A = this chain, B = another copy of it.
Amino acid sequence: MTEKIALTPATHTTPPAKFSHGVKKGNILQVAGQVGFLPAVEGQAPTPAGPTLREQTLQTLANVQAILEEGGASWDDAMMIRVYLTDVDHFAEMNEIYNAYFEEQGLKEAPSARTTVYVGLPKGLLIEIDALAVLS
């Protein structure tokens, strides 16, 4: 029996429902949809970074990364990154931010696959990202 472990970085706000920010079972790690919430402050409602797409995107990527690391993984283990944007016009800017971010990460392996689609998100949120990782 392989145990499923919840991954809950200390910086993260409590999920708004009965789900985990991330789970790991064997060598599979799944990160739940992350948004650009700033590190949790006790007694305060979750607040997104912002208001720019850049700020939200970088905070969202940091939130995904924190969960990967909580599970002993890194971006090098990411197999699939799903990017949800609210506006097709944000695609080029998101790609710029995404590229610069991953350049800085100094990936040692092939970059993750990715799908980007345009959906609705709760008011104030411009981007949501989730990720599937396979650990070595």
**CB within 8 Å of B: which residues of A?**
1-6, 15-23, 25-28, 30-33, 76-77, 79-82, 84, 88, 91, 95, 98-99, 102-103, 109-123, 128, 130, 132, 134, 136
* Docked CA distance A82–B22 (Å): 13
Smallest beta-carbon distance A102→chain B, Å:
4
Report the bound CA distance from A116 to B119 in whole Å.
10
Contacts of A102 in B (CB 8 A): 18
Could you say which residues of chain B place their CB within 8 Å of the CB of A3? Answer: 109
- Within the oligomer, what is the number of copies of this chain? 3
Report yes or no: A113 in contact with B2, Cβ–Cβ below 8 A.
Answer: no
Closest to A110 in B: B6
CB distance from A67 to the nearest CB of B (A): 9
A111 vs B85: C-alpha distance when bound (angstroms):
26
Asked if B88 and A23 make an inter-chain contact with CB atoms under 8 angstroms apart, the answer reads: no
- Closest Cβ of chain B to A93, distance in Å, is 11
- Whether A23 contacts B99 in the complex (CB less than 8 A), given A1-B136, A120-B117, comes out as no
Q: Which of B1, B95, B122, B128 contacts A88 (CB 8 A)?
A: B122
Closest to A22 in B: B113
> How many Å lie between the Cα of A111 and that of B123 in the bound state?
26
